[in-house]
Structure 1
Amino acid sequence: MKTDKAASRQKWRSDKLSHLGSSIFSEVAGWKEEARRSGLDVIDLGIGSPDQAPAPEIRQALSAAVLREDSYAYPASKGSARFRKQAAEWMNWRFGVKVDPEEELVSLMGSQDGLAHLALALCNPGDLAIVPDPGYPIYTGALALAGVRAWPLPLLEENAFLPDLNSIPEAVWQEAVFILLSFPGNPISVTVDLAYMEKLVALARKWDVLVIHDLAYSEMGFGDYRPISILQVPGAIHTAVEFHSFSKSFNMAGCRIGFMTGNREAVAALRELKGNVDYGVFNPVQEAAVLALEMAMQGNGRLEVAPLYERRRDLFVEALTKEGWAVPSPAATMFIWAPLPDGYAFAGQEGRSRQFAHELVLKTGVVVIPGDAFGAQGEGFVRIALVEDEARLLEAARRIGEYLRTIR
């Protein structure tokens, strides 16, 4: 007898998809369309997609490689030898870190690709991993796909959002397979010094836990601050891996290229999984990425992305402050992690971030992401992406100020 398989679940849709964290972004996309239909000019400060193109030389290299007839064979799933060699040289130039391009580095279709697959490569269903809360949604989404349990490490305002390693119970350290952190992070631009990294590595060694460091914003430090690599800690390569991305560092988001480097056992595991999932990054994209790294190592200031976002940060924070919304000034990245404005009346304590973000786009056309999209500890905050030019950011601040004055 045929049974009703869809009685307790949605037909042809895995329950795991509901744990990926993408639902809020789909919801925000619906809000944007609703605002546009009402006639509003939408200023999208939601998704962290760079609004700049790569340098002309990088685009020309990509174009030339695409036109070559020999560019269309399957690429090596671990990355071309030339790309891996150049990435290793860049690590040494940028951080003073030496990695073996043959055994300690793997190319990726963007760092999110690696972050999404690493738990599958490292863990068994039922294993435990430590992840930040708030954190980039794929951190917990990847665990859901792999059937791995998450232990959320709260990033609290009273601790300046710095993960308190001492708050992690010994029982959690004992059971965890890995701990994933990001400095500077998304959505919160938390920064640390080498002493913090040394403590993290020491704890990981003590408990035999792999450290995963997401360094997607390595080239987005402001002022005198330059993000550091966890592999700068002596011996960390034996207990840590690190993700790097070309999306933010070189405005190559659509190219989908990045790499993971560090502990060779973890690199080998991800390589093996990726070898069964895809055939690697399109070779012309890898060639363009090689040129980007070469140009950076030549000290080509035209590739620097930090000055642009630092100017935008300064202008927008000052403009919002004048409009009556005091937001913190991040030390890095393209994001502002802003507490909800004082004096705003909410229907209740739950869903405040979502209520504010929804009303803001419908009333002003300015899009921000509610903080609870990044974890339970994100309630009461919104993330603002500095991905519009200065004139549009000033216009966004003006609209927000006008809106706040009508509701206070």
Structure 2
Amino acid sequence: MHFSYAQRLQQLPPYLFAEIDRLKAEATAKGVDVIDLGVGDPDIPTPSHIVEILKKAAEKPENHRYPSYTGMLRFRKAVADWYERRFNVKLDPEKEILALIGSKEGIAHLPLAFINPGDIALVPSPAYPVYHIGVLFAGGKSYFMPLIEKNDFLPDLEKIPRDIASQAKIMFLNYPNNPTAAVAEEEFFKRVIFFAKKYEIMVCHDAAYTELYYDGHKPLSFLSLKEAKECGIEIHSLSKTFNMTGWRIGFAVGHPKLIAGLGKVKSNIDSGVFQAIQEAGIAALNSKEKIVEKNRQIFKKRRDIMANGLKELGFELTIPKATFYLWVKVPKNYTSMEFCQFLLKKIGIVVTPGIGFGEPGEGFFRMSLTISEEKIYEALARLEKCIKYL
């Protein structure tokens, strides 16, 4: 029989990491000790008290049935309490909070609620690919906002053509940023709010990395700015904050109509988050700050070792204020894909080519700090040996 993919799958951008994956598998099969700096997945275990709550909650018969589509009210109240403590933002647990099966799911489903075929979304580039993919699956069109170094990796709103802005339905933002590790300050978010209200655009801010900050620089919530809730929705995750990537739990907060729209899509597509995981999520959100601070100290030390080591070897980068990524310039005479292939073939190190996140990412590669200090030192030693070949 002949099976053909739907057009939405045929429209997916090429998977530029396929060759890297092939070379990684090839090297592993040959017995190479591959050091993987490509995946943004914390290697630190979920705190033990959160795991214990899950174990106990999984034994409760009431948690074995279908959960609420919107999330347990106790979970939504825990989110509201956490937002008020962390960002001084007041939220109504009944109308302004929605549980998600991880932030990725919420981001992907949001365009289905608000984008009609042919509608425009403003999407940053380089960026997490799901923003564009969600728009594409909803039949929309992405207008890419370049994130470039001279603008501190913030989109230049003034360069968005007026006719594009007037047609746009959604603007996606993500700060602290993946992959560039850039942060956004209050003044930028004020400009975003003015722009969004002028053109009646909803703003979806992906805030997954707000708790991975260093040197006392606390990132803002978009919703902490006056009038932001009038145009915005913010999507958060427990994945990076509490080392819970595999647990698949996050939440969306913001304007009641935006939350209701996303909730309507979800109620027709999924059946909610397993309540035992929500109980563990409550325990995480109610945790004392020292748990998250311990994570920050670990990643800060790794950041300092790797960033300073790379600079000593002649690589160009800005030491990030947040996230566990380094956004590093590719050596001259290489494309980002060529350099990533070179590192994997020559010294068994996996990094992510900037072009994989969008055309403006060309000229950079991303390193993830989700490996041990021992492995970081080993990676730097290997890089030092191959410098002469660059």
Q: Is residue 335 from structure 1 mapped to residue 355 from structure 2 by the alignment? A: no
Counterpart in the other structure of 1:349: none
How far is 1:38 from its partner? 2.8
Q: How does 1:68-217 map to 2 (within 5 A)?
A: 68-217=60-209
Counterpart in the other structure of 2:267: 275
1:371-395 per-residue CA deviation (whole Å, 9 max, x = no partner) reads: 1111111111111100101110111
1:112-163 per-residue CA deviation (whole Å, 9 max, x = no partner) reads: 0001111011111110000101111111111111111000001112222221
CA RMSD of aligned residues (A): 1.6
Contact 1:21 1:137 in 2 (8 A): no
1:49-84 per-residue CA deviation (whole Å, 9 max, x = no partner) reads: 110111110010011111222221001111111101
2:156 & 2:182 partners in 1: Cα distance? 12
1:167 & 1:340 partners in 2: Cα distance? 27
Q: Give the count of matched residue pairs.
A: 390
TM-score (norm 1): 0.92
1:253-307 per-residue CA deviation (whole Å, 9 max, x = no partner) reads: 00000001001111101101100111111111100010011114xx334664222
Q: What one-letter code is carried by the residue in structure 2 that aligns with 1:106?
A: L
1:175-217 per-residue CA deviation (whole Å, 9 max, x = no partner) reads: 0001111111100112122121111111111111101111000
Q: How does 1:289-328 map to 2 (within 5 A)?
A: 289-296=281-288, 299-301=289-291, 304-328=294-318
Q: What one-letter code is carried by the residue in structure 2 that aligns with 1:69?
A: P
Q: What one-letter code is carried by the residue in structure 2 that aligns with 1:396?
A: A
Give the match's secondary structure for 1:178: strand
1:18 & 1:307 partners in 2: Cα distance? 44
Q: Is residue 378 from structure 1 mapped to residue 361 from structure 2 by the alignment? A: yes
Contact 1:320 1:401 in 2 (8 A): no
TM-score (norm 2): 0.96
* Cα distance change of structure 1 residues 210 and 304 upon mapping to structure 2, 3 Å threshold: farther
* Cα distance change of structure 1 residues 64 and 20 upon mapping to structure 2, 3 Å threshold: farther
Contact 1:55 1:303 in 2 (8 A): no
2:248 & 2:306 partners in 1: Cα distance? 29
1:28-56 per-residue CA deviation (whole Å, 9 max, x = no partner) reads: 32221011123310111111011011111
1:193 & 1:326 partners in 2: Cα distance? 24
Give the match's secondary structure for 1:24: coil
Contact 1:55 1:302 in 2 (8 A): no
Q: Where in structure 1 do 4 or more consecutive aligned residues deviate above 3 Å? A: 18-22, 299-304
Structure 2 unpaired stretches of 5+: none
How far is 1:341 from its partner? 2.0
Q: What one-letter code is carried by the residue in structure 1 that aligns with 2:373?
A: E
Q: Is residue 391 from structure 1 mapped to residue 378 from structure 2 by the alignment? A: no
Q: What one-letter code is carried by the residue in structure 2 that aligns with 1:305?
A: N
Contact 1:22 1:137 in 2 (8 A): no
Counterpart in the other structure of 1:353: 336
Give the match's secondary structure for 2:31: coil
2:44 & 2:189 partners in 1: Cα distance? 32
Structure 1 unpaired stretches of 5+: 347-351
Counterpart in the other structure of 1:401: 384
